[in-house]
């Protein structure tokens, strides 16, 4: 086939189309890499962190929180950590958050990805309201649930008897001993991980998980009838009746109406 | 050599200050190139990262807005694209690759692969587009600059592989391939640095047309006026690395301040 001369306009349009196509292809590859890189949901953030979605947008990955941490708890994710690259995290089994009262890692954050307000009560920093995660006990491998006396996590907890309480019950197997079972109170637990750090089993039987992962959600259709405040929701409830063609007749009449069924 | 030494001193000092701040708590320059705190008070932020955050839909805090503005002003008014050759740690990697490339004579055995200088602007556009669509800072999450820089300060992990990719890309595929063609941050600073004051100036009267400057320049296109007419290197892509000044044996190239209006009151640029 003879080579046909190409007009400048056509050359330009083709060139642009090619560039757009290449850019689109690159964007697809790039987006899949990004998708993978943020897929890790089991990541514990520093205190005061925004929810994960906003955190990923807002964190500039400068590491000022990491530098500010006096215990080397915080790390910036490097390639190979399988976490969103450059973002701060901690692994409590290695080094937990020691819950500094002045929370040095939060005010240094230049972007607000670590939100000072979320760890402030009455204009004073308050690490106890941080919610980095929640501790979860594996009752199967926790030796306290076997009946062996161990309250390592309970003792390690900075909010002892508030975030981890010991539940006493009778050990029917021996007939004369007690179980001292650690139970986490999620409303109080900050997710610092000192319990996970202290746990004596080979692999920690109590560990901190991100709250979104570990915790369920009831929804608003269950009401605690024994809770005055919750019960108020029922009293305040308004019913909404929808009107359709069917609702013109009585309900029973509508249900019993077989007209048109046997034609 | 003096400019090369000055650039290495600049690159390494900045890196050393960051490392010292993280490891020993010497609080002169804390953080990293994405965002830092100078002397514990002055915020400095990567404007391209902030732009990505903005397109991703993040609330931009005053601190990083001010930090980004300081950097934009610094490079935009004074230094031009100086970040690339005086600050960025990748510069040492690509310089090493280019040096080895010259020593081994790879350019002589390799068929030249065509790449457009404009790729970096497309990458820049795509990174903003992806940031917008995915609600993430698209380039920041994969940036080899940050990987290397963060790695040196906070721990490398497998980050060295990203650095190796750039090294071998520059060594085996395209001379100066990453910095001169692909890197969107370089493209970003090329756009911002277009109007800066510090510029290389060319004097045709002294020039003996040896073309060493064009040979050594990582952004050859900005030296288009060499052998043709005296003038100022005004291309935004010029990184003010001063390699051309150093190789020139005729003193035809030197740093100077750009004059926006010349003596006759006419704009200097054409």
Residue B113 is predicted with a pLDDT of 82
Return the residue in A22, A24, A67 with the most chain B beta carbons within 10 A, the one to mutate for interface testing: A67
Neighbouring C-beta atoms of residue A226, cutoff 10 Å: 7
Structure tokens at A245: 């063609």
Q: Is B244 left (phi over 0), alpha (psi -120 to 50) or beta?
A: alpha
Of A60, A81, A84, the CB nearest to B49: A60
Pairing mode of beta strands B42-45, B35-38: antiparallel
A154 three-state secondary structure? helix
Q: Please give the DSSP secondary-structure letter assigned to residue A248.
A: G
Least reliable range by pLDDT among A105-114, A244-253, B33-42, B112-121: A244-253
Is residue B9 helix, strand or coil? helix
pLDDT at B267 over 80: no
Domains A43-130 and A133-216 fall in the same CATH topology: yes
pLDDT digits over B222-235, tens only?
Answer: 888 888 888 888 88
> What are the residues whose beta carbons fall under 8 Å from the beta carbon of B261, sequence distance 6 or more?
B267, B268
Residue B161 to residue A79, Cβ atoms within 8 A? yes
Contacts of A16 in chain B (CB under 8 A): none
Q: Considering only alpha carbons, which residue of chain B is nearest residue A80?
A: B158
Q: Is B270 a residue whose pLDDT tops 70?
A: no
Domain locations along chain A: 43-130, 133-216
- More confidently predicted of B45 and A39: B45
For residue B110, is pLDDT > 80? Answer: no
Question: What's the gap in Å between the CA of A212 and the closest CA on chain B?
Answer: 19
| CATH code reported for the domain at A133-216 | 3.30.70.20
Q: Tokens standing for A218? A: 């009831």
Q: Do A78 and B140 touch (CB under 8 A)?
A: no
Q: Assign domain A43-130 one CATH number from 3.40.190, 3.30.70, 3.40.720, 3.30.60.
A: 3.30.70
Q: Which residues contact B39 (CB under 8 A, 6 or more apart)?
A: B27, B28, B29
Written as six digits, the tokens of B16 are 């050393």
Q: Which segment of A40-49, A198-207, A249-258, B78-87 scores lowest on mean pLDDT?
A: A249-258
Q: What does the mean pLDDT of chain A come to?
A: 89
- Mean pLDDT over residues A83-102, rounded? 91
pLDDT at B34: 84
Q: Which of B238, B219, B262, B214 is nearest to B75 (CA)?
A: B238
- Put simply, the answer to whether B154 touches A76 (Cβ < 8 Å) is yes
pLDDT at A121 exceeding the cut of 60? yes
Number of residues assigned to chain B = 270
B92-118 mean pLDDT = 85
Class of residue B243 by CB neighbours under 10 A (exposed 0-12, middle 13-18, buried 19+): buried
User: Chain B residue closest to A52 (CA)?
Assistant: B136
- Asked if A37 and B141 come within 8 Å (Cβ–Cβ), the reply is yes
- H or E stretch covering B202: strand B198-202
> Where is pLDDT greater, at A161 or A79?
A161
Which of B5, B249, B134 is closest to A27 using CA atoms?
A: B134
Question: Which residues, numbered 23 to 82 in chain A, qualify as contacts with chain B under a Cβ-Cβ cut-off of 8 Å?
Answer: 23, 26-27, 30-31, 33-35, 37-38, 53-54, 56-58, 60-64, 66-67, 75-81
Range among A33-47, A185-199, B112-126 rated most confident: A185-199
Alpha-carbon gap: A77 to the closest alpha carbon of chain B (Å)? 8
* Per-chain mean pLDDT for chain B: 85
pLDDT digits (tens, 9 = 90+) for A219-263: 888 888 899 988 898 888 888 888 887 777 788 888 888 887 887
Test A111 with B35 for CB contact under 8 angstroms.
yes
The pLDDT value recorded for residue B129 is 92
CB contact under 8 A, B35 and A64: yes
A78 with B150: Cβ contact below 8 A: yes
- Ranking A82-86, A128-132, B23-27, B236-240 by mean pLDDT, the lowest is B23-27
Work out the average pLDDT over B244-260.
83
Find, among B234, B81, B96, the residue nearest to B175 by Cα.
Answer: B96
DSSP per-residue letters across A113-140: SB-GGGGEETTEE-GGG--S-EEEE-TT
Kindly state the average pLDDT of the residues A164-172. 92
**What is the band of B260 on the pLDDT scale with cuts at 50, 70, 90?**
low
Is residue B169 over pLDDT 60? yes
Instruction: Determine the residue among B42, B46, B119, B141 to mutate to test chain A binding: the one whose Cβ has the most chain A Cβ atoms within 10 Å.
Output: B141
pLDDT at residue B265 in the model: 47
pLDDT at residue B266, as a whole number: 47
Contact A79 B162 (CB under 8 A): yes
pLDDT number for residue A185: 93
Interface A-B: count of C-beta contacts within 8 A = 144
Cα–Cα distance, B237 to B218 (Å, whole number) = 9
For residue A17, the Cα-to-chain-centroid distance in whole angstroms is 43
Query: Cα(A46)–Cα(A71) distance, rounded to whole angstroms?
Result: 13
Q: Is the pLDDT of residue B27 over 90?
A: no
Label residue A199 by pLDDT band (50, 70, 90): very high
For B56, which residue in chain A has the nearest alpha carbon? A57
The answer to whether the Cβ–Cβ distance between A64 and B31 falls below 8 Å is: yes
Q: What are B9-14's contacts with CB under 8 Å, separation 24+? A: B10/B86, B10/B87, B11/B86, B11/B87, B11/B88, B11/B89, B11/B91, B11/B92, B14/B87
Predicted TM-score (pTM) of this structure: 0.81
């Amino acid at each position: 086939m003879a080579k046909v001369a190409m007009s400048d306009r056509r050359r330009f349009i083709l060139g642009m189309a090619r560039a757009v196509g290449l850019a689109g292809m690159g964007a697809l590859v790039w987006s899949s890499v990004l998708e993978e890189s943020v897929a890790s949901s089991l990541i514990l953030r520093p205190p005061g962190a925004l929810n994960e979605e906003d955190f990923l947008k807002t964190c500039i990955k400068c590491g000022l929180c990491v530098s500010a941490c006096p215990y080397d708890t915080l790390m910036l994710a490097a390639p190979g950590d399988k976490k969103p690259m450059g973002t701060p995290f901690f692994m409590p089994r290695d080094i937990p958050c020691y819950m500094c009262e002045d929370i040095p890692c939060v005010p240094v954050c230049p972007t607000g990805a670590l939100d000072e307000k979320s760890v402030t009560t009455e204009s004073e920093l308050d690490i106890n309201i941080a919610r980095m995660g929640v501790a979860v006990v594996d009752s199967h491998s926790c030796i306290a649930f076997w009946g062996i006396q161990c309250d390592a996590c309970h003792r390690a907890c900075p909010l002892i008897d508030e975030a981890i309480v010991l539940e006493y019950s009778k050990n029917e197997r021996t007939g004369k001993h007690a179980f001292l079972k650690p139970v986490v109170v999620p409303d109080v637990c900050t997710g610092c991980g000192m319990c996970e750090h202290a746990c004596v089993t080979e692999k920690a039987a109590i560990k901190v998980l991100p709250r979104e992962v570990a915790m369920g959600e009831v929804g608003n259709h269950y009401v605690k009838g024994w809770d005055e405040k919750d019960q108020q929701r029922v009293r305040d409830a308004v019913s909404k009746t929808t009107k359709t063609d069917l609702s013109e007749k009585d309900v029973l009449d509508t249900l019993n109406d077989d007209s048109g069924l046997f034609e | 050599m003096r400019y090369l030494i000055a650039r290495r001193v600049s690159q390494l000092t900045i890196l050393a200050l960051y490392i010292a701040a993280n490891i020993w708590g010497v609080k002169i320059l804390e953080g990293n190139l994405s965002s830092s705190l100078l002397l514990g008070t002055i915020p400095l932020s990567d404007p391209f990262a902030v732009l990505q955050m903005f397109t991703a839909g993040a609330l931009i805090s005053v601190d990083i807005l001010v930090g980004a503005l300081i950097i934009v002003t610094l490079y935009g008014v004074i230094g031009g694209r100086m970040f690339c050759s005086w600050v960025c740690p990748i510069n040492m990697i690509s310089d090493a690759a280019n040096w080895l490339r010259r020593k081994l004579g790879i350019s002589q055995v390799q068929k030249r692969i065509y790449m457009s200088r404009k790729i970096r602007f497309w990458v820049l556009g795509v990174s903003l587009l992806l940031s917008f669509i995915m609600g993430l800072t698209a380039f920041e999450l994969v940036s080899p600059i940050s990987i290397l820089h963060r790695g040196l300060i906070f721990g490398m992990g497998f980050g060295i592989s990203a650095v190796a990719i750039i090294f071998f890309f520059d060594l085996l595929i395209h001379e100066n391939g990453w910095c001169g063609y692909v890197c969107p941050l370089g493209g970003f600073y090329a756009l911002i640095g277009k109007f800066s004051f510090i510029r290389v100036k060319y004097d045709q009267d002294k020039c003996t047309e040896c073309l060493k400057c064009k040979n050594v320049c990582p952004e050859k296109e900005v030296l288009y006026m060499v052998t043709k007419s005296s003038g100022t290197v005004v291309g935004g892509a010029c990184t003010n690395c001063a390699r051309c000044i150093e190789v020139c044996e005729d003193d035809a190239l030197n740093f100077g301040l750009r004059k926006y209006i010349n003596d006759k009151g006419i704009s200097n640029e054409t």
